[in-house]
Amino acid sequence: MISRGVVSVLLIGCCCALSENYPFVSTSLGNITGVYEESYSDRIYSAFYSIPFAKPPVGELRFQEPQPISSWSGTWNASIKDIFCVQVVHTMKPGGDYIGDEDCLYLSVFVPNEDPGSIKEPLDVIVHVHGGAFMFGSANSYAGPAFLMDRDVILVTISYRLGVLGFLSTEDGVVPGNNGMKDQVLALKWIRDHIKSFGGNPESVTLTGLSAGGASVHLHYLSPLSRGLFARGVSFSGNALAPWVLQEEPLLKARMLGAQVGCAQQETKELVNCLKQRSTYQLVESVKILRPWLFNPFSPFGVVVEKGGDNRFLEEHPYLLLKNGKFYDVPWIISSTAEEGLYPAAEFATDHNYFKDLEERWLELAPFVLDYNYTVAAGKKDDVSKKIKRAYLKKKRISSETFRVFVDMMSDRLFCISAEIAAKMHAFQARSPVYFYYFAYLGDEIESFSIHFTKEDQRDGVSHGDDVMYIFSNPQTPIIPRLPHLDELMKEKLLNMLTSFSSTNVPHMSKVDWEPVGKRDPVKMLYIRNPKDMSMEKITKIERHRSMWASIPFAENEGLFPTAKDEL
């Protein structure tokens, strides 16, 4: 990992040599030079990595809202690829591995042209927010440009502070919270102000994201800070109502973390001042105390409804904002995959001792693995855990033989139930269309997203994130020179979907009439079995267990506002 001091030296230089071997742009902030790369189809494109959009959030700026970057002298060398925000990344090691830098607020711009200045007609802009449970990942972790650069669009990938450094909240005006989301807002403002210099159209920004990035996209619809900064959005496998999005007991977590690093002050201002004096390693490593088993729960720090401050990203609970139609009304696509729960369940299949652990310690571990430790009353947790396991596994044990059923359980709880509710609520109040698709294509050569976490080349289903692999190439592995026929067709159809949506507000899939989600009818989705077999279908996969989930007393969404529940 490149340290902050080294990055600063490499990225700024008054005497940077320019030549025809480097793409070049001039912005109101200063000059920028990048590198040339080749797309999947051998098109030369311009890549500008790690351009700063905010002042380094270090020292007194730790735990503060991001500040716009100042202009620079000389030429910015935008060729440094891997700048991770400090994090404990999800690896096979229990609790994860520490990596990253606190100075990490950068974005990357990819232009399908060797000379961005020669673009006459401004291009549509696709912005991608990375996933990682608000806890890990980076701008270029999962979203490579090689496929999209075969199309005439500009891609921007953004970073934002993660975990305790991005989402600590003292539930007052000292640290209201959501600084990671405010980082994203500032990045969108940078794009609005500077993307013209790269040949992009600031009036045609499509905001996309995977998982926590998908939830982020949906949250931007709900935030007053994001109004007018994008024209449409795509939430791949994430939404604002997912159970892992909102952080429970943020002040309690801040105090627990403080106690772990020797900061036991009761006054929140003094607590935060003490936390500012601790190293990033101390703070981020200490988050492991909130994960009692492996990497679970995967999102202990996340978004909050802000109770203080003058610049609130989220002023009310997402459920109420959706119910009351208080959101930015532009077109939206939401998606699910057939086996969403392979994140994080694929990790459990790598060691049969994990199955044994889950079976023997189910009452202890279920609230963490299924993320209801804080949202089910202590006296009811055991009954809830038994009820869920019985509904899916009957009297069978958790094992390799029942793994696929266990994945269904994880899928429904962590992703699918909330996706259906969010799509339905959003569509009910919106004038703009909401489109839903369900991805069930098990590819031939494009690897499954689950391999990022298991490091094992096996396919247990269509994982969380697998659809995105056909749109954003995997930058961590070499590009396959030529994909198998069906993978190639799938890639082209999903690229067509995204680029047509970016230019017309309507996603086009050949030979399929993709109907938006209705206002009162059962939710219908575009069911993608393979690139030659797609049709409109009613959501049925969660039908068997929908009433069971609805009967559980979660202190979440409608469970927090029972009088506000609508019969849609």
- Given the residues 237, 464, 488, 558, select the one marked as catalytic: 464
- Given the residues 108, 211, 418, 473, select the one marked as catalytic: 211
Q: Is-contact 148 495, C-beta < 8 A? A: yes
110 Rama sector, left if φ>0, alpha if ψ -120 to 50, beta otherwise? beta
* Cα 367 from Cα 354, distance rounded (Å): 16
Q: What angle do CA 64, 319, 373 make, to 5 degrees?
A: 75
Largest CA distance in the chain: 71
* Cα 210 from Cα 369, distance rounded (Å): 20
178 Rama sector, left if φ>0, alpha if ψ -120 to 50, beta otherwise? left
Q: Is 237 a catalytic residue?
A: no
* Residue partners of 458: CB distance under 8 A and separation at least 6: none
187 Rama sector, left if φ>0, alpha if ψ -120 to 50, beta otherwise? alpha
Alpha helices (H) in 449-529, listed in sequence order: 451-454, 485-504
* Cα 316 from Cα 127, distance rounded (Å): 26
Q: Give Cα 339 distance to the centre of its chain.
A: 18
Q: Is 537 a catalytic residue?
A: no
Q: Is 128 a catalytic residue?
A: no
Instruction: Identify the residue whose tokens are 């890639």.
Output: 491
Q: Which amino acid is at 424?
A: K
Q: Is-contact 151 112, C-beta < 8 A? A: yes
Alpha helices (H) in 349-466, listed in sequence order: 352-360, 362-369, 381-393, 403-411, 417-429, 451-454
Dihedral sign for Cα atoms in the order 129, 42, 509, 204: positive
- Given the residues 306, 340, 420, 488, select the one marked as catalytic: 340
Q: Give Cα 178 distance to the centre of its chain.
A: 14
SS percent in the chain: helix, strand, coil, step 5: 35, 20, 45
Q: Is-contact 558 319, C-beta < 8 A? A: yes
* Cα 246 from Cα 180, distance rounded (Å): 13
Print the SS3 string covering 147-202: CHHHCCEEEEEECCCCHHHHHCCCCCCCCCCCHHHHHHHHHHHHHHHHHHHHCEEE
Dihedral sign for Cα atoms in the order 196, 198, 203, 207: negative
Pairing of strands 106-111, 44-52: antiparallel
Q: Give Cα 246 distance to the centre of its chain.
A: 13
* Cα 158 from Cα 463, distance rounded (Å): 24
Q: Which of 235, 256, 231, 283 is nearest to 131 (CA)?
A: 235
**Residues acting as catalytic residues:** 211, 340, 464
